[in-house]
């Protein structure tokens, strides 16, 4: 296994509030790393720092050996950082399928010059992207709602669409922000198997999640964060067995 | 009859203006009101080329569109990094500032305007020819915008407007899309300006003031912001309404303020009771066969 994403001494604070305090983590290809900790521990902030929503104060982040420092959100996405959002952030006026069609990093049909000068190749490429999107929806058992507006589907389905959109983006580093919050039943099982499949296909996955059994089922290892610091890294069981951490998490 | 034909010239010009303005504010979500300045840049470019270089009319009008297209970046490059209300403010400044420049330059005729733009269509059919040209250009612009927005490019614009952060996190450069939308919309306004200059043979800075911005904004809001046919309906309605009132034979002292009152009332009425405008935008549904 090789390291796909590596963080070195990443620090960030907003005014007096420290959200990242010398964070160093490596995530390997094929690994599913859980990120756990109480609310306000800095888990989502860490995702925002990696994906470039805001820059780090100091430290460095690299994906496949390429430094992300100084790059903005869309440049980092182009280097392979794909993410989902705690509140999904789906494109609300569009259908499920269209949400997926916007996601590929290279889509020839959107360049006006291609539409005009290479109509045939463009049409073929459009068709291929569409097929791929339908393939992903099928894996998630969502093909029947492909043409529904994203506001007209259930919460669990919206979470899956958020993941599907990130998968269409092809980023090798997949950051999932609370994929299971509010998700139950079939969507839960689907989410689990898709995340597993994606990791075994060589992506590095990092999951922020409060659902401990999901983390236990899924993650090879986990990191426990509190107040912007990494307190411990290990197997999920050993982290949960540690009394100090359990106290911090669940309240003493 | 001549009266209706010259009205048709204006209808074509204003459909081009309101549709291209809608591309910027309705579809791009870029709150600029500086659209008339690109109309002006097109008109002045065409006028000056026609007067001083006897440029072929088609080339002169295209050059007007080109100048508007390029100069839109003078506004968009520095100010699209900021958005929302700030863009609105810089756009007002840009419009007023450039108009001041035009008012004080000798070559543009200053505040008294640029006259003697050569007539390119002689004879009794002059207005009819202009009406056909201006309405054809309007049709082409409406069709091009429609074509742009129904394809994958339209999907990208919609996604950017729905959630710019999520959009950028997919590796999309929102800035580039905004720049191109702004430039395309402004370019169309420049072309409308070229036709305007040739038809009236006289242009002056006061035709491109904030009042013109308000007029275009009213057309888009009343017609339906973000819908493809809305601005067309809005432009026709707002051009015909004042003409209809003029048939009432009211004294001029009542007429002039009455128009302003009607425009303002229309905007207020629509904002309260039908904010989506006469023609509401389509909810996007993915076509199953596209």
Instruction: Please provide the average confidence, as pLDDT, over all residues in chain A.
Output: 91
Q: Of the segments A244-248, B81-85, B168-172, B279-283, which one has the largest average pLDDT value?
A: B168-172
**CB of A88 closer than 8 Å to CB of A49:** no
Q: Six-digit token pair at A151?
A: 């506001």
Please tell me if residue A165 touches chain B, with a CB cutoff of 8 Å: yes
Q: In the predicted model, what is the mean pLDDT of residues A189-209?
A: 94
A97 CB neighbours in chain B (<8 A) are 286
Q: Taking the CB of residue A169, how many other CB atoms lie within 10 A of it?
A: 23
- From the CA of B245, how many Å to the nearest CA of chain A? 40
Q: Six-digit token pair at A249?
A: 């998490």
- From the CA of A217, how many Å to the nearest CA of chain B? 28
| CA dihedral for B77, B79, B83, B87, sign (positive or negative) | negative
Q: In the predicted model, what is the mean pLDDT of residues B89-114?
A: 93
B162 CB neighbours in chain A (<8 A) are 91-94
* Percent of residues, chain B, with pLDDT higher than 70: 96
Please tell me if residue B244 touches chain A, with a CB cutoff of 8 Å: no
Q: In the predicted model, what is the mean pLDDT of residues A119-143?
A: 91
Question: Residue B225: what pLDDT?
Answer: 87
Q: Which of A93, A103, A126 sits opposite B162 (nearest CB)?
A: A93
Q: Six-digit token pair at B45?
A: 């470019």
- Between CA B201 and CA B17 the distance in angstroms is 19
- Between CA B153 and CA B157 the distance in angstroms is 6
B184 CB neighbours in chain A (<8 A) are none
How is chain B split into domains, by residue range? 2-209
pTM of the prediction? 0.84
A107 CB neighbours in chain B (<8 A) are 152
Answer whether B284 sits within 8 Å of A95, measured CB to CB.
yes
- Structural domains of chain A in order of their starting residue, each with its CATH number: 1-80+171-252 (3.40.50.300), 94-170 (no CATH)
Question: Residue B287: what pLDDT?
Answer: 42
- From the CA of A200, how many Å to the nearest CA of chain B? 22
pLDDT in tens, B135-174: 999 999 999 999 888 888 888 998 998 999 999 999 998 8
Q: In the predicted model, what is the mean pLDDT of residues B17-28?
A: 93
* Percent of residues, chain A, with pLDDT higher than 90: 71
Please tell me if residue A158 touches chain B, with a CB cutoff of 8 Å: no
Question: Residue A137: what pLDDT?
Answer: 97
- Interchain CB contacts (distance < 8 Å): A and B: 94
- From the CA of A78, how many Å to the nearest CA of chain B? 5
Say whether pLDDT at A145 is over 50: yes
Q: How confident is the model at residue B289 (pLDDT cuts 50, 70, 90)?
A: very low
Please tell me if residue B153 touches chain A, with a CB cutoff of 8 Å: yes
User: H-type helices in B151-173, by residue range?
Assistant: 152-162, 164-168
A112 CB neighbours in chain B (<8 A) are 148, 153
pLDDT in tens, A45-97: 999 999 999 999 999 999 999 999 999 999 999 999 999 999 999 999 999 99
Q: Which residues, in sequence order, are CB contacts of A40 under 8 Å at separation 6+?
A: A227
**CB of B49 closer than 8 Å to CB of B63:** yes
Q: Which of A89, A97, A110 sits opposite B166 (nearest CB)?
A: A89
- From the CA of B271, how many Å to the nearest CA of chain A? 21
Question: Residue B147: what pLDDT?
Answer: 87
Q: How confident is the model at residue A170 (pLDDT cuts 50, 70, 90)?
A: confident
ipTM of the complex: 0.92
Q: Which residue of B has its CA nearest to A73?
A: B169
In DSSP terms, which residues pair with B203 in a beta bridge? Answer: B114
Q: Which residue of B has its CA nearest to A105?
A: B171
A90 CB neighbours in chain B (<8 A) are 163, 166
* Percent of residues, chain B, with pLDDT higher than 90: 59
- From the CA of B181, how many Å to the nearest CA of chain A? 12
Instruction: Please provide the average confidence, as pLDDT, over all residues in chain B.
Output: 89
Q: How confident is the model at residue B248 (pLDDT cuts 50, 70, 90)?
A: confident
Alpha carbon of residue B207 to chain centroid:
13
Please tell me if residue A47 touches chain B, with a CB cutoff of 8 Å: no
Question: Residue B58: what pLDDT?
Answer: 96
Please tell me if residue B159 touches chain A, with a CB cutoff of 8 Å: yes
Q: How confident is the model at residue A184 (pLDDT cuts 50, 70, 90)?
A: confident
Please tell me if residue A126 touches chain B, with a CB cutoff of 8 Å: yes
- From the CA of B226, how many Å to the nearest CA of chain A? 12
Q: How confident is the model at residue B285 (pLDDT cuts 50, 70, 90)?
A: very low
- Between CA B18 and CA B16 the distance in angstroms is 6
């Amino acid at each position: 296994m090789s390291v796909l994403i590596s963080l070195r001494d990443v620090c960030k604070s907003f005014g007096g509030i420290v959200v990242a305090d010398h964070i160093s983590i490596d995530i390997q290809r094929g690994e599913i790393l859980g990120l756990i900790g109480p609310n306000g521990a800095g888990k989502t902030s860490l995702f925002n720092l990696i994906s470039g929503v805001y820059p780090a104060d100091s430290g460095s982040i690299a994906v496949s050996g390429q430094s992300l420092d100084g790059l903005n959100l869309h440049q980092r996405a182009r280097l392979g950082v794909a993410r989902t959002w705690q509140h999904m952030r789906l494109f609300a006026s569009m259908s499920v399928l269209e949400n997926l069609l916007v996601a590929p990093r290279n889509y020839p049909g959107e360049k006006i010059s291609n539409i005009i000068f290479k109509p045939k190749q463009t049409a073929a490429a459009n068709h291929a992207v569409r097929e791929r999107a339908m393939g992903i929806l099928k894996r998630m058992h969502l093909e029947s709602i492909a043409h529904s507006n994203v506001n007209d589907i259930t919460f669990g389905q919206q979470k899956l669409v958020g993941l599907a959109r990130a998968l269409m983006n092809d980023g090798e580093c997949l950051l999932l922000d609370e994929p299971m919050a509010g998700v139950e039943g079939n969507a839960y099982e689907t989410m689990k198997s898709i995340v597993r499949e994606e990791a075994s296909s060589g992506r590095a996955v990092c999951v922020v999640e409060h659902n401990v059994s999901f983390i236990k089922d899924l993650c090879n290892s986990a990191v426990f964060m509190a107040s912007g610091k990494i307190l411990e890294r290990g197997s999920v069981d050993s982290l949960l067995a540690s009394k100090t951490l359990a106290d911090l998490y669940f309240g003493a | 009859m001549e009266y209706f034909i010259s009205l048709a010239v204006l209808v074509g010009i204003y459909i081009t203006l309101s549709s291209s303005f809608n591309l910027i504010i309705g579809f791009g979500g870029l709150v600029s009101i500086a659209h008339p300045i690109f109309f002006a840049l097109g008109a002045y470019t065409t006028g000056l080329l026609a007067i001083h270089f006897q440029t072929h009319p088609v080339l002169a009008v295209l050059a007007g569109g080109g100048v508007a297209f390029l100069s839109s970046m003078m506004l968009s490059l520095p100010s699209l990094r900021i958005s929302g209300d700030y863009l609105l403010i810089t756009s007002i400044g840009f419009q007023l500032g450039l108009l001041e420049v035009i008012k004080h330059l000798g070559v543009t005729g200053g505040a008294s305007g640029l006259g003697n733009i050569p007539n390119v269509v002689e004879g009794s059919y002059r207005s009819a020819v202009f009406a056909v040209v201006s309405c054809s250009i309007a049709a082409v612009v409406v069709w091009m915008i429609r074509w742009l927005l129904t394809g994958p490019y339209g999907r990208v614009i919609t996604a950017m407007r729905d959630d710019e952060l999520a959009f950028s996190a997919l590796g999309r450069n929102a800035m580039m899309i905004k720049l191109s939308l702004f430039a395309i919309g402004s370019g169309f306004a420049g072309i409308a300006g070229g036709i305007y200059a040739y038809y009236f043979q006289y242009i002056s800075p006061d035709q491109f003031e904030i009042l013109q911005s308000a007029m275009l904004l009213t057309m888009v809001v009343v017609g339906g912001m973000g819908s493809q046919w809305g601005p067309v309906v809005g432009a026709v309605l707002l051009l015909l309404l004042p003409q209809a009132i003029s048939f009432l034979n009211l004294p001029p002292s009542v007429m002039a303020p009455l128009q302003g009152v009607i425009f303002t009332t229309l905007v207020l009425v629509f904002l309260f009771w039908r904010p989506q405008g006469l023609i509401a935008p389509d909810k996007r549904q993915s076509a199953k066969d596209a």
